[in-house]
Amino acid sequence: MPWDAVQIRLARRKTGEEFLRYFVELGALRPNDAVLDVGCGRGRMAISLTRYLRDGGRYDGFDVIASSVAWCSQHISRRYPHFQFTFPDIYNAEYNSAGEHRASEYVFPYADASFDLVFLTSVFTHLLPEELEHYLSEIGRVTKKGGRCLATFFLLNEESRRLIGERRSSQDFQAGEGVWLTTDAKKPEAAVAYEENYVRDLFPPRSFTLNGPAHYGSWCGRSKYLSYQDILVATKA
């Protein structure tokens, strides 16, 4: 049975509260930090952060879905002017097939070293390698020294591949090449998984140090997990 509007709002609120804990506990978020939400959607993270960011704290978010950005600007920015939202019109086969800009070339509209925390929830799970690598470079540019990046992934390793093979995974990653797999060869951006070692190797060249091991998720059928997707946290050197 499809979810109704109330169920969707409650699910968004629950996810926002869940990740606010991760931003504070894993990402060392402080109330006066400057935050960038890459792929802000319809404000599921922003709404929870409105109660937390204060004393000079600020939030910027952007998303490739124009209607989501319009909703956030109308319902969040009007009440919380230190929360701002941008629509960059980036092409994505899954979410913005008429987009003007390529994700692999898009320059984030923010100055160097602007943010204490940059986070991406279920964004790298819809980007192909060239786009992923470019986004990480832009994140490295706009993050302050000592700032953090928190991002979610579908990470491929020995355990997750075994569980996929046993058909215990909620995502059937089969098609793809090299360091990535997708659930849909015709529309790979629908869901993308990456080799964990490949992803981890992308952070140091962009002046990030990973904060320990990944916080693995339940997506592939694990019995022990933190969230649904896998989470990596890194600090800008």
Cα–Cα distance, 15 to 217 (Å, whole number): 14
Strand order in the sheet with 175-177: 155-156, 192-195, 180-182, 175-177
> Which pLDDT value is given to residue 6?
46
Domain spans in the chain, listed from the N-terminal domain onward: 5-236
Length of the chain in terms of residues written? 237
**Model pLDDT for residues 7-55, shown as the tens digit of each residue:** 445 556 789 999 999 999 999 999 999 999 999 999 999 999 999 999 8
Cα–Cα distance, 3 to 128 (Å, whole number): 30
> Which pLDDT value is given to residue 140?
98
Q: Which helix or strand (DSSP H or E) is residue 118 part of?
A: strand 115-120
- Within 10 angstroms of residue 130's Cβ, the number of other Cβ atoms is 12
Cα–Cα distance, 29 to 115 (Å, whole number): 11
Whether the Cβ atoms of residue 51 and residue 76 lie closer than 8 Å to each other: no
**Model pLDDT for residues 193-232, shown as the tens digit of each residue:** 999 999 999 999 999 999 999 999 999 999 999 999 999 9
Query: What tokens appear for 215 in the block?
Result: 């916080």
**Model pLDDT for residues 165-181, shown as the tens digit of each residue:** 999 999 999 988 789 99
Q: Which helix or strand (DSSP H or E) is residue 235 part of?
A: strand 230-236
Cα–Cα distance, 197 to 195 (Å, whole number): 6
Query: What tokens appear for 28 in the block?
Result: 């060392």
Q: Which of 107, 98, 167 is nearest to 141 (CA)?
A: 107
Helix, strand, coil content of the chain in percent (nearest 5): 30, 25, 45
Q: Mean pLDDT for the chain? A: 93
Domain 5-236 is classified in which CATH homologous superfamily?
A: Vaccinia Virus protein VP39 (3.40.50.150)
